[in-house]
Amino acid sequence: MSARVLVIEDAEAIGAAVSSALRESGYEVQHRLDGRQLEADLGRFRPDLVVLDVMLPGRDGFALLEVIRRSSGAGVVMLTARDGVPDRLRGLSGGADDYVGKPFVLAELVARVSAVLRRLGRTPSTVQVGDLVVDADAGVVMRADQAIELTATELRLLVYLAAQRGRVVSKTQILTAVWGYEDYDPNLVEVHISAVRRKLEEHGARLVHTVRGLGYVLRAEE
């Protein structure tokens, strides 16, 4: 089952971008523009983690953090334009698990969310596809019991593909999730896909497949 993430962000464009990036990373996401129905969401949606903006209409993020800590074991990543030390300390001392200041790179936020979920034991760090084992926490990739050496970028790419295993992902989705932006030369994706594919195929059959006109998919052929 995918981890559930509740995004509370009153800037619609930012909230939509964050929600999209999290969904592309395999999470179930709901987005709210304020915290008016937080108590109901905690009971019905039961998020594993809340991405919580500080500057909200009505109850601010610090007030909502208190509600979450009283009634839920969900992780909390606070999101705000405020970058002062007092605000960060207030959020962390109030029980937030992490704090990300605006402006931010989507890939970094997704990585912070994933790290908190792993620490809380809400999402597995190890994924297996056929004879390929990818351990995101340890940074270890094994195939047919052989360790595969990847660069940091290649590892992020493979971790993303493993999280999306069986699903076709576009170059734009990969750019957003791995590099944090959409408007870039898609050849960047092709170069790194080729490198990962070459290293994996040194130890077995093809696992990273090209779906013409759509993107790429990580799957083991039957």
Name the CATH code of domain 4-120 (choices 3.40.50.720, 3.40.50.2300, 3.90.1150.10, 2.60.120.260): 3.40.50.2300
Residue showing tokens 């696992």: 207
| 222 residues of the chain, pLDDT tens digit each | 578 999 999 999 999 999 998 887 778 999 999 999 999 999 999 999 999 999 899 999 999 999 999 999 999 999 887 666 777 777 778 899 998 888 888 888 988 898 898 888 887 668 889 999 998 877 889 998 899 999 999 999 998 899 888 889 899 888 888 887 665 677 889 999 999 999 999 999 999 999 999 999 999 876
CATH 3.40.50.1820 for the 126-218 domain, yes or no: no
Q: What is the pLDDT of residue 72?
A: 92
Report cis status (omega within 30 of 0) of the bond before 86.
Answer: no
Closest CA to 75 of 4, 124, 160: 4
pLDDT at residue 186 in the model: 75
| CA distances to 90, 135, 176, 204 from 1, in Å | 33, 18, 23, 29
| pTM to 2 decimal places | 0.63
From 172, 203, 200, select the one nearest 188 (Cα to Cα).
172
Sketch the domain layout of the chain as residue ranges.
4-120, 126-218
Say if residues 179 and 107 touch (Cβ distance below 8 Å).
yes
pLDDT at residue number 105: 83
